Structure 1
Amino acid sequence: MEIDKVIDSTFEPVSNAVASVVFYSIQFLDLEIKLILIWLVAAALFFTVYLGFINFRYFKHAIDVLRGKHDSGNSNGHISRFQALMTSLSATIGLGNIAGVAVAISVGGPGATFWMAIMGIFSMSTKFVEVTLGIKYRQYGSKHNPHTISGGPMYYLRGAFDRLQQPQMGRFMAGLFAVCCIGGTIGAGGLFQANQAYQQALVVTGGEAGFLADKGWLFGLFMAILVGMVIIGGIQWIAAVAGRIVPVMAIIYIIAGFVVIGVHYAAIPDALRTIFEMALYPQAGIGALMGALLMGVQRATFSNEAGLGSSAIAHSAVKTDVPVSQGMVAMLGPFIDTVVVCMVTALVIVISGTYVEGGGIEGVQLASRAFASGISWFPYVLSLTVFLFAYSTMISWSYYGLICTTYLFGERLVITRLYKILFCAFIIIGASAQLSNIILFTDSMVFAMAIPNIIGLYMLAPEIKNDLRVYLQDLKEKTEKRS
């Protein structure tokens, strides 16, 4: 623990400096509004309107594309549309869907969950743009590994600035994104996930008197081995595992949630009324409304990652020659993550009424208490889903960090092996240490990814709009031929 304290205190000034820039706030109605949230909300609203409310008009079409209804022949890529979506979802459906929702309710009240859902719907448009660009600008092969496919904001940022004949700025922005992504991968994708999974496992095994007490390193080693067994095989293995784990863990969690909701079925109307009233007509006035809105937006963004650019890395390995088509599929991600899974957590907490008992900010403890209100042993089910959520998030984020690492240092075998070893080592550290300042630093890195990424999205917006127009015209012609 002494070593932990030394590391934590050494990192504190760095963490505070970075966080003060990324999470810079302005005062409004006695509230601190983070500018990075305005940056993300503005992008979601802009692209929704600019692309003609694509998230509403082509929702059914996105499902049809995912089902393979519009596919034809063999295409370049390593993984299927379903695997790409599941890999992306395995990174976003994590502890943000449980602890993040609980934090939103404990701080912003039940009304925050309404704004989470609204932000999730509008974020679908941002996700469409970044994934479409990720595939359009992806790179095939390298000198050291001719069979790889790499994509993401690094590549379309360079493309955007190359068009302005500013290649130096393009390299800088791409490098900035890659560095921030690696930092976020180590913290949000490794340290935080392992730490929270261990904390929940500790709760259900007897707490400080249980077997796992003071054995965080053992739990972390176990998780590191499981992660290492998958990431050693690259994106194909990651996608294959994600394609199996994500549907299972989501179904288990949703069924458990519906059971708790069913136990409290008589409270459903009052709970829904509470959510809407506190979101739109809070008794405490405009300040409470803004507080709920801001908290909902923040937790929604942390959960679905729209605007951060990370999902574009996973989707870039998909088998398709039509980038817009996979952009349609990617739109489903924020809906599943934030509107479906997060709302299950929200309804369980609000319907059970356990949020009233809390005394300040609460995370997974609040969710665990809410699930226990339905059936006493349900916290064990929650522990299983927390473990699966954390595990799936780690394997997907490891791939994001790998692609950014190879972008910066080259796709040499020694680089990829060293990265994977270090990533697994940080899982052990995360489970056995309390490194709050490192986690603050890496959280800052995650949100910092949105700064260069969204700049690139705005720069390439006319290009995306034209690609969408061509795609829809082709779709119309094909539909007319069939009829």
Structure 2
Amino acid sequence: MALRQTLAQGAESGFLGRIEERINAVFDPIATGLGDFVFGEVTVFGTTFPWIVAWLVLAGAAFTLYFGFVQVRGFRLALRILRGRHSSPDDPGEITHFQALTSAVSGTVGLGNIAGVGVAVTIGGAGATFWMVLCGLLGMCSKFVECTLGVRYRDEHPDGTVSGGPMQYLSKGLAERLPGAAGRYAGKIMAALAAVMILLFGIGGGNMFQANQTVIQLRDVTGGEDGPLAGDGSALLAGLVLAAVVGFVIIGGIRSIGRVTSRLVPAMGLLYVGACALVILFNLTSVPDAVGTIVSGAFTGEGVVGGTIGALIVGFTRAAFSNEAGLGSAPIAHSAVKTRYPATEGLVALLEPFIDTVVVCTMTALTIVIADTAFWRDAQAEYAAEGVTPDGVTVTSEAFETVLPWFPVLLTVAVVLFAVSTMITWAYYGQKAWTHLFGRSRVSERVYQGVFCSFIVIGAVLTFGSVLAFTDAVLFLLALVNIIGLYLLAPVVKRELARFTRSLKAPDARQEGAEAASTERG
């Protein structure tokens, strides 16, 4: 995931440094306590890992069995829907299936696919790649469930815009599934908790971290402390530019975001995957051995602390943190799609973990294993001997530089594109949470957008370590609330899938389904 790396920039000296110290003094105990709970570790066969990872992976496995491996059976159908089949321009919603997918992917594909994978194959060995892929495949089904519910329970406003996500399906869905007042109150409480968590992360982590890392990478590639971005006010200026770019996009709403991400995401994906392909092609004869190392390492855990279980846990952890399946964030973007059948977007959404984890993460891992750099081997030895977590970005960069000496420049471009796409997506997620809590009006939305963009500037200048640790924990705490709702509402998803399947077999059934959907919305 794009937001899961350790901040590298120190605090500004003087006045700004004192501000950061005060903020950290307030947030440190809160962030530490919440982080200890959310990322608290359990031990299995001598290997420790965060319990939240097990919660996410088990949900993916349970839904995979319950829906009969829909991520396999429905893959080709998902591609047809993505190309515009089985949909009409007159369908309710704001954006196309392709735009909805790219909007959601822009929030997940990022630095986690570059640095996070570097960490995974260093501390978990090459075999961690196999388990990352498996976790990504399971996560496809979790995305299918939550994004189907996002469309099924979305609010359609008089101006043609829509609002959807965990705030809507937890509130409405639980009121339907649970009897009496208990369902209504449980739904409202869980929806409010989801909104608060999404809003806090959107404002605190979905923008400040991205701005901070962008400025750091730009500074490093332009000469470091001796370059043009090392002077006083340079970080502030860079933050203002980023805020202006993001603000220009998000003011236009999801339609504007969809137009931008439908161009930006394919461009950055091709840029990065193309670089991976170059390294692989230059070492084509090494590919069979690399694949063999990945598969054998998954089951032998050779050279990895914790053996096979160690490789498995590391792979699952990085995949769960990367694709966000089960967290409840992606349904907000997918809910804006033009469709009369919620299951169509659930099917399209299952492609998201496939792109993020199965394709992009695997390409990165394969590149690192093929390059087999001395830095990677030294980092593995250091972790095994002293438990020092490696710098994932450097691991990946070193692998690329074996073929592409100019890779740091390409990495800078990728970081900027990933950061901007993540910020505009999380701006939209946070706005939906804001309006759920404070009401939907033009003034309310503009206030939120102003607050969000202000924090981009702040993030470029300061390093709020404890604040970002807090928002990180809050986002994954959302998975606890969200997945409980997904379990309770899974039968609704099964009915929606059956309704769409019937529509494919007979035009009359399709018309009846559209009328039923209209009646339910009414």
- Within 5 A, what are the aligned runs for 1:39-438? 39-72=55-88, 74-141=90-157, 146-163=159-176, 164=178, 165=180, 166=182, 167-213=184-230, 215-284=234-303, 287-354=306-373, 355-358=376-379, 359=382, 360-438=389-467
- AA partner of residue 378 (structure 2): E
> What's the C-alpha RMSD, in Å, of the aligned pairs?
1.9
Q: Number of paired residues?
A: 478
What secondary structure does 1:91 align onto? coil
Q: CA deviation at 1:201?
A: 1.7
| Cα distance between partner residues in 2 of 1:427 and 1:294 | 34
Q: Distance in 1 between matches of 2:494 and 2:509?
A: 23
Residues 250 and 410 (structure 1 numbering): CA distance in 2 closer, same or farther, change over 3 Å? same
**Deviation digits for residues 418-460 of structure 1 (CA, Å, limit 9, x no counterpart):** 2111111211222222222111111111111111111111111
Residues of 2 paired with 1:295 and 1:446: CA distance?
A: 20
Contact 2:125 2:303 in 1 (8 A): no
- Seen in structure 2, the aligned counterparts of structure 1 residues 337 and 72 have a Cα distance that, compared at 3 Å, is same
Query: Quick check: 2:124–2:305 contact (8 Å CA) kept in 1?
Result: no
Query: Aligned partners of 1:69, 1:397: CA distance in 2, in Å?
Result: 29
Structure 1 residue runs of 4+, over 4 Å off? 478-481
Amino acid at match of 2:129: T
Distance 1:139 1:216, change over 3 A: same
Contact 2:104 2:330 in 1 (8 A): yes
Closer, same or farther: CA 216–68 of 1 in aligned 2, 3 Å: same
For the residues of structure 1 that align with 2:287 and 2:216, how far apart are their CA atoms? Answer: 31
Q: Is 1:264–1:374's contact at 8 Å kept on the other side of the alignment?
A: no
Distance, in Å, in 2 between the alignment partners of 1:183 and 1:225 is 21
The worse-fitting range, judged by mean Cα deviation, of 295-304 and 119-128 is: 295-304
Give the secondary structure class of the aligned counterpart of 1:189: coil
Distance 1:475 1:286, change over 3 A: farther
Structure 2 CA distance for partners of 1:285 and 1:345, relative to 1, 3 Å: closer
CA contact 1:26–1:35 (8 Å) conserved in 2 = yes
The superposition leaves residues 325-358 of structure 1 with CA deviations (integer Å, 9 ceiling, x where unpaired) of 1111111111011111111111122211232133
Q: Secondary structure at the match of 2:48?
A: strand
TM-score (norm 1): 0.95
Structure 1 stretch displaced more, 43-52 or 377-386: 377-386
SS at match of 1:453: helix
Return the alpha-carbon distance in structure 1 between the equivalents of residues 205 and 79 of structure 2. Answer: 30
Q: What CA distance in whole angstroms lies between the structure 1 residues aligned with 2:479 and 2:409?
A: 36
Could you tell which deviates more after superposition, 431-440 or 402-411? 431-440
**CA contact 1:113–1:346 (8 Å) conserved in 2:** yes
Alpha-carbon offset, residue 479 of structure 1: 12
Q: How far 1:32 moved relative to its partner?
A: 2.0
CA contact (8 A) 2:133 2:357 kept: yes
Distance 1:12 1:344 in 2: 37
- Equivalents in 2 of 1:300, 1:344: separation in Å? 13
How has the CA–CA distance of structure 1 residues 406 and 83 changed in structure 2, closer, same or farther, with 3 Å as cutoff?
same
Residue 471, structure 1, aligned to residue 500, structure 2: yes
**Deviation of 1:16 (Å):** 0.4
CA contact (8 A) 1:135 1:323 kept: yes
Contact 2:40 2:51 in 1 (8 A): yes
Contact 2:301/2:309, CA 8 A, preserved across alignment: no
Alpha-carbon distance in 1 for matches of 2:282, 2:230: 33
Counterpart residue type for residue 155 of structure 1: Q
State, as a whole percentage, how many aligned pairs show the same letter.
Answer: 46
Contact 1:310 1:400 (8 Å CA) reproduced: yes
TM-score under structure 2 length normalisation: 0.88
Residues of 2 paired with 1:405 and 1:7: CA distance?
A: 23
Residues 227-251 of structure 1 show CA distances to partners (whole Å, capped at 9, x for unaligned) of 1111111111111100110111111
Alignment partners' CA distance in 1, 2:126 and 2:203: 32
Equivalent residues of 2:502, 2:509 under 8 A apart: no
Answer whether contact 1:106 1:362 (CA < 8 A) is retained.
no
- CA deviations on 1:290-322 (whole Å, 9 max, x unpaired) are 222222112112211110111100011111111
Could you tell me which residue of structure 1 aligns to residue 34 of structure 2?
18
1:92 aligned counterpart, secondary structure: coil
CA distance in 2, matches of 1:395, 1:266: 41
Shift of 1:181: 0.6
Query: CA 1:99/1:136 → structure 2, altered by over 3 Å: closer, same or farther?
Result: same
Return the offset for 1:148.
2.8
Q: What is the Cα deviation at residue 42 of structure 1?
A: 1.0
Change in CA separation of 1:148 and 1:470 when aligned onto 2, cut-off 3 Å: closer
Letter in 2 for 1:29: F
- Contact residue 188 and residue 443 of structure 1 kept, 8 A: yes
Cα offset, 1:286, TM superposition: 8.8
The question of whether the paired residues in 2 share the 8 Å contact of 1:95 and 1:193 is answered with no
Relative to structure 1, is the Cα distance of residues 378 and 283 closer, same or farther in structure 2, using a 3 angstrom cutoff?
closer
Question: Are the counterparts in 2 of residues 173 and 452 from structure 1 also a CA contact under 8 Å?
Answer: yes
1:372, 1:350 → 2: CA distance? 14
> CA separation in 1, counterparts of 2:32 and 2:304?
32
Q: What is the aligned counterpart of 1:32 among 48, 66, 75?
A: 48
Secondary structure, aligned partner of 1:98: helix
Give the partner amino acid of 1:60.
R
Contact 1:188-1:446 within 8 A present in 2 as well: no
Q: Deviations over 1:167-211 (max 9, x none)?
A: 122111001011111122123311221222222222211122222
Distance 1:382 1:115 in 2: 26
Give 3-state SS (helix, strand or coil) of 1:74's partner: coil
